[in-house]
Amino acid sequence: MPTIPTVTLNDGIAFPELGLGTYGLRGAEGVESIVAAIDAGYRLLDTAVNYENEREVGDAVRAASVDRDELLVTTKIPGRHHGYDDAIESTNGSLAVMGLDWIDLSLIHWPNPSVDKYVDTWRAMIDLRERQLLRSIGVSNFTEAMLTRLIDETGVTPAVNQVELHPYFPQTELRAFHAEHGIRTESWSPLARRSELLQEQVLQELAEIYGVTPTQIVLRWHVQLGSTPIPKSADPDRQRENADVFGFALTDDEVGVISGLERGRLWGAHPDTHEEM
């Protein structure tokens, strides 16, 4: 079983360089898949109120063969729970549904700028971290301008910004901003949801050279960009394949060639206009 290395977040917490996406993992089969991933070495589990599988994630944490404090559970506050009081209530609800005493990383799922409550939501998260109900606090789908506003108005920099990131959308400018401010980048849909990405010739060729799969080339690319990918797989074999990317390294040129596949957001979800409740 490979050990997934960690990096240190701006709040001092050790954070895995790769985690498990859980969107769509539900019911008894979902719990089984999440437990299989933990058995395969995954320690970071990514859920959200809106995935309607927080219960399954909590059950998997209890069923796992490792201690609770070795696992990092991420959940996300949905748009309909924005605002100070609602964010507190949302967090209490997530803790109750998961049956956990604390959440390792809580994220604002989408900024929803027309609602204009993400700063108040953030203030609640700062207080929840103070009360040790949240270990780390971060955001998802935030732009540079939104991050700057949070930092300027509260003095607290998010530990993580989880954003759409894959070779078709490498987020070069946002990653540079994160690096400048000590924000860890996390990649959602790191495999571009198994679109035609995995058939790209350059990935096929690199897979041949390194004796790995195109998926492993993509996940290694994320690691070398300094972003934590959270590939979702229900299948134990594919979960093991996805986690096994710490035994080889791409050259800087190869990383650059993969980033050259850029074509933009795949699902048109720009945080300035796309809102989710």
* Residue range at the interface with ligand NAP (CB under 6 A); choices 87-95, 130-138, 172-180, 182-190: 182-190
Q: Tell me: does residue 193 bind ligand NAP (CB under 6 A).
A: yes
- State the number of CA atoms in the 13 A half-sphere of 210 facing the CB: 24
Q: Tell me: does residue 54 bind ligand NAP (CB under 6 A).
A: no
Q: Which residue, 207 or 257, is less far from ligand NAP as judged by CB?
A: 207
What's the closest the beta carbon of residue 162 comes to ligand NAP, in angstroms? 5
The residue within the footprint of ligand NAP, chosen from 128, 139, 230, 245 (CB under 6 A), is 230
Q: Tell me: does residue 265 bind ligand NAP (CB under 6 A).
A: no
Q: Tell me: does residue 140 bind ligand NAP (CB under 6 A).
A: yes
Q: Tell me: does residue 104 bind ligand NAP (CB under 6 A).
A: no
Q: Which residue is nearest to ligand NAP (CB)?
A: 21
Q: Which residue, 100 or 132, is less far from ligand NAP as judged by CB?
A: 100
Take residue 21 and report the two structure tokens written for it.
């996406």
What's the closest the beta carbon of residue 221 comes to ligand NAP, in angstroms? 13
Paired with 187 in beta bridges are 163, 229
Q: Which residue, 12 or 48, is less far from ligand NAP as judged by CB?
A: 48
Q: Which residue, 45 or 131, is less far from ligand NAP as judged by CB?
A: 45
Binding site for ligand NAP (CB under 6 A): 21-23, 46, 109, 140-141, 162, 188-194, 215, 230-235, 238, 241-242
